[in-house]
Structures are given as C-alpha cells and as structure tokens.
Amino acid sequence: MTNQIQIHAYEPRPNILSKLAKLALPQQFMEKIYSYIERNIFLKLIKDKSQAIEICCPACLKAHIKKTAVEVKLPSEVSRKVFNITNGNAGHMGYYLDKDKLIKLD
C-alpha cells in the first residue's frame, strides 16, 4: 500500500466569500478577492502528513481585503465591516504576499 497524500477540498473560499456576500459588496470587489484566493492557495499537511488541506494565509488575505477595499473605494462603514470579517492582523510586519510578489501595506 502506498502512502499517498489525500487532498481534501477545504478552502477558505466558502467561509470568507459567504460572509462577504452577506454585505452585498460590488462585484468588482468580490472578483478581486476571489482571484486573490485562487492565486494564493497552498497545501498544508495535517494529521500524520497523509492528508492536506488547501488554505490561504488569513493575514495576507486580510491585508489584500483592506487594500482592495481602498482601491474600489468602498465607503468607510462598509470597509470597516469587511475588514472585521477575518480575525487577526493584516499582513506580516507591514507586508503581505500575492503569489510571488511582496506588497507593502500603506
């Protein structure tokens, strides 16, 4: 019997996107967030390293959400709600990754 890694279809997409969808955000914003998640999925080994889940770094995602909210000019009240959907800090020491690019937070 081989020791193959099983990949489970867990992603942050359903959870974070369903929360964002409840806020009735502009389609342009939603498309940018979905695209970011698609570009930045990576595998995390779990249990006895025979299973993996697909995840997106929540700190980087939160930083991208913040930046995208500014780019698409969401009203400040809506931006605050969007930013509070995820827990934790935005980015890592003032930066976040988008695929292979290191982006400085403003």
pLDDT by residue for the chain (106 residues), tens only, comes to 444 444 443 344 557 777 777 888 888 998 999 899 889 988 777 777 777 777 788 889 889 999 999 999 988 888 888 888 777 888 999 999 999 999 998 8
Helix (H) or strand (E) holding 84: none
Residue 28: predicted pLDDT:
92
Q: Which domain holds residue 44?
A: 6-104
Whether residue 74 lies inside any domain: the answer is yes
Residue 102: predicted pLDDT:
93
Residue 17: predicted pLDDT:
72
Residue 68: predicted pLDDT:
93
- How many structural domains compose the chain? 1
Whether residue 80 lies inside any domain: the answer is yes
Whether residue 1 lies inside any domain: the answer is no
Q: ∠102-105-106 over CA atoms, to 5°?
A: 140
Q: How many CA atoms lie within 13 A of 44 on its CB side?
A: 12
Q: Are strands 51-55 and 42-46 parallel, antiparallel or unpaired?
A: antiparallel
Whether residue 50 lies inside any domain: the answer is yes
The secondary structure of residue 66, as a DSSP letter, is H
